[in-house]
Structure 1
Amino acid sequence: MPTWHMISFQDSASPSMEQLTMFHDITMTIITLITSMVAINMAFLSFYKLTDRFLLQEQTIEIIWTACPVFILLIIALPSLQTLYLLDDPFTPNITVKAVGHQWYWSYQYSDFPGLDFDSYMTPTSSLTNSPRLLETDNALPLPVHSQIRMLTTGADVIHSWAMPSLGVKADAVPGRLNQIMFSTKRTGIFYGQCSEICGSNHSFMPIKMEIIPMKNFLTWVVSMV
């Protein structure tokens, strides 16, 4: 869940988000080291005004400055490709949910349970108690923990975008088209997201609230809804 003064990612709730966070940390470490090394070299040369031929004209230093970026790019590219493969890796889903974006709310349909569908509107600020403002909804999206989920997204009017930061997933909801994202959840809890596409004047008023619960509780909820 997002909190005030948060400058990093939300706690991951899926293996995909764990991979994205790890890749971010590796890349930021490399960038910080490169920036620090270049800054130190520039400061050293500026203050001491060195004219060392090895640093300025030697062929060896040219080879080093050419080869090092190649190795650095390889170090960054390999985990990046692995993460992309894991994000796109198809699997047999346990549950399929269709999210339909409207101006300005979400509708959810459980394809495996005919007749199970509902709308999810943002809870007005005047009705909130201890819930987060602009993120609370009247109906949460229940999903079972440790399950493979397939989310289908589409739009009923304009382009929306279904995004859940703690799961590391985002998919555009385009009218007349179905987009697909797959993810798995690894812990129970309540997670929040928002439409990440500028879909109109009330774009910021269509949040997403997902409730990850044990499979037994999920089946009990399905029975009560059908």
Structure 2
Amino acid sequence: MSYYGSSWMQDPSTYICANMYVFFNYSLLLVMLISGLVGYWMWKVVVSKVSYNRFIEHESLEVWWTCVPVMTLIFIGVPSLRLLYMYDCQPGKSLCLKVIGRQWYWSYEYGRLGIFFDSFPININDLNVGGFRIMDVDTRVVLPGEVPVRVMVTAGDVLHSWAVPSFGVKVDAVPGRLNVFRMNAINPGVYYGQCSELCGVGHSIMPIVVEVVSWSAFVDWVNKMI
């Protein structure tokens, strides 16, 4: 999770999020390179006493400044499309989790396992030592690591948004509609998120807590919840 004074993104905990960070750094490098080149040529035009009239109606130059932006867009577009494909298509069987946003808490359903529960924020007076104010919940979502998970997000009243930055996930919860995505957590741990769509006076107290555990620990949790 983010801490006070953090100046960078949270550590990725899914393959998709890790690839998103790589794509972000790659795109940022291209933007900095283009900005540097444009700034350099603007400076050259301003300080130089040489006339640039010979560039008027220069066909070769026009071809270059058309082809270079097209190639740049291709260099950005291909990795972006690959990332979108990874986000939506993950082969193999997966665990199904249904997320329902409500005012102002989350409901979760492990349909095939017969597990249903609501997740409410813990009152500040009931927090344990080391707990996070307005971030901890009474019942966490528990997922097995290295197992594909199919998450279906919807809402029971107004618009919400299920967002966990370390997973690279921000999915709108819309009443009457199912938004589906797939993820595969790779690092065990506890991950925090919040509702990211203004949904009323309790919007700021709709935390999300996901605990990623080993397969054996997940089986023990399932047996305990059934």
Normalised by the shorter chain, which TM-score bucket? over 0.9
Name the counterpart of 2:18.
18
**1:153-186 CA distance string (max 9 Å, x none):** 1211111111111111222222222221111111
1:71-220 superposed matches below 5 A = 71-114=71-114, 116-128=115-127, 129-220=129-220
- Aligned partners of 1:132 and 1:46: how far apart in 2? 55
Q: Which amino acid aligns with 1:84?
A: L
Q: Which amino acid aligns with 1:198?
A: L
Cα pair 1:93 1:150 within 8 Å, conserved: no
> Equivalent residue of 1:7, what SS?
coil
Kindly report the root-mean-square deviation, in angstroms, between the aligned alpha carbons of the 2 structures.
1.7
Cα pair 1:101 1:155 within 8 Å, conserved: yes
- Aligned partners of 2:77 and 2:156: how far apart in 1? 38
Cα pair 2:101 2:155 within 8 Å, conserved: yes
- Aligned partners of 2:98 and 2:11: how far apart in 1? 25
**1:77-107 CA distance string (max 9 Å, x none):** 1111111111111434431111111100011
1:51-90 superposed matches below 5 A = 51-90=51-90
Q: Which moved more, 1:150-159 or 1:46-55?
A: 46-55
- Aligned partners of 1:65 and 1:142: how far apart in 2? 52
1:44 to 1:205, Cα distance in 2 relative to 1, 3 A = same
Q: Which amino acid aligns with 1:120?
A: S
Q: Which amino acid aligns with 2:97?
A: V
State the TM-score, normalizing by the size of structure 2.
0.92
1:135 to 1:56, Cα distance in 2 relative to 1, 3 A = farther
Q: Which amino acid aligns with 2:41?
A: N
- Aligned partners of 1:74 and 1:48: how far apart in 2? 33
Aligned residue pairs, count: 225
State the TM-score, normalizing by the size of structure 1.
0.92
Cα pair 1:54 1:61 within 8 Å, conserved: no
- Aligned partners of 1:154 and 1:143: how far apart in 2? 19
Cα pair 2:90 2:148 within 8 Å, conserved: no
Unaligned 5+ runs, structure 1: none
Unaligned 5+ runs, structure 2: none
